[in-house]
Amino acid sequence: MSSKNTSFKPRDYLKITVFGFALTALWQSLHSIILPQRLLDFVPETQKNTYLGTLTLAGLLLAMFLQPVAGGMSDRSRIKWGRRRPFILIGGTALIILVPGIGLAHGFIALFIVYCLLQIASNTAQGPYQAFIPEFVPENKRGRASGVKALLEVAGGATLVYVSGIFIYSYATSNNPFYLQTILWILAFVVAAALAVTLFSVKESHVYATIHRISFTKKLSQEVREILSNRMMMWFLVSRLLIYMGFTTIQQFALYFLSDVVRVPDPAQATAKFLIFAVAGMLIVAWPAGYLSDKIGRKSISIGAGLLGAIGIGVIALSKEYTTILWMAGLIGMAMGAFNSANWALATDLAATGEEARYLGIANIATAGGAALARAIGPAIDYFNGRQALSGYNIMLYACIAYFVIGAVMMLNIKPRA
């Protein structure tokens, strides 16, 4: 498999995307199930949304900064083993070592430090890894490759979120750390397996970028000016950021919402089922949306996905009945699956040749930024809940609807390449 290989084979799609399976499995499980429960060991019940939002916001701000930096460094790397795999090896190995630290932390500060180190490790690997699609896949197959990437990420998130729900329920009811440590080691093993497959199956050609001797500060300044001067890129980044804010907000605070508002007897398992319904929706549409984006364009699918997400959240806001919420989770999942495939294909189209990792790292600033800003609503939820019982969760849902609608409308300003 060489760069831009015209005989790109079906199995090659899996080789260049399997690491995404592990990364999504890890972060979906941590953000949706493990961290919300783990925080309850250290923080007051009335401040749980604030602490959860603060913790994950800090980590994702790190991701916004580190991912394009790691991607840019790999673009200019002259290591004979490849431009991407050395960074993936370093970041992936650090992840494996750090994941069990979530269970070993004995206070909020220790948990905060481990979480931030996990973000550093993950984004060191993810920035370079994301260059595989534009680097290896012919342009007329990138939608399909993005669909496979989205499909594997969905499968990773679904499988491990369900398993995490089982173990975390046992941990919450028994307070036995064995269950927490077991699921963390399972996640570490999944990362290790995907890392091994990636390192040994992906063969990079020895193509080196020209190294420009330039200070980091000057380089960062140039990149900021480049983004601000590119109006299409700005519309793309802001619209993607808003839609990811909508997706991430409902996912991040689902466990507390289901516990406090819907009053389910087992919040961890209920959240796992919520996410599994969402994943089922993603699985249905992820690959077809990527395939269709090659045929009819990325923009229309991205816009439709944003509006569909708003409808799903709107129904949840009107009905607090658990069965209805599960079906709407499936609808939101369909929106997310379609958006992930089509919008990421659009991002790969925008990437400059030879600097794919840097450009996709910049595109993922919107992903990480949306995920980070979604957490910022945590203190607002607690504040309004304190003024009027559970009203903070209504504010959260209305905000999600606004994110989806505004993000979809902003996509209208993007003029994709023919």
Cα separation, 251 vs 339, in Å, equals 16
Q: Which domains does the chain have, with CATH numbers?
A: 10-204+219-413 (1.20.1250.20)
Cα separation, 121 vs 226, in Å, equals 27
Cα separation, 169 vs 178, in Å, equals 12
Helix, strand, coil % in the chain, rounded to nearest 5 = 80, 0, 20
Residue 379 has pLDDT above 50, yes or no: yes
The H or E element that residue 330 is part of is: helix 322-350
* pLDDT tens figures, 105-143: 999 999 999 999 999 999 899 888 887 877 888 877 777
Backbone φ, ψ for residue 139 (5° rounding): -60, -35
Cα separation, 258 vs 316, in Å, equals 11
Scanning 297-321, the segments in alpha helix (DSSP H) are 298-318
Mean pLDDT computed over 358-375? 72
Among residues 9, 6, 5, 14, which one has the least CA distance to residue 287? 14
Sorting pLDDT into bands at 50, 70 and 90, what band is 327?
A: very high
Give the whole-number percent of the chain exceeding pLDDT 70.
Answer: 87
Which structure tokens are listed for 397? 């849902």
Mean pLDDT computed over 312-319? 93
- Name 230's Cβ contacts closer than 8 Å, sequence gap at least 6: none
pTM for the model stands at 0.71
DSSP states along 27-76: HHHIIIIIHHHHHTTTS-GGGHHHHHHHHHHHHHHHHHHHHHHHHHHHHT
Sorting pLDDT into bands at 50, 70 and 90, what band is 353?
A: low
* pLDDT tens figures, 49-76: 889 888 888 887 887 778 777 877 887 7
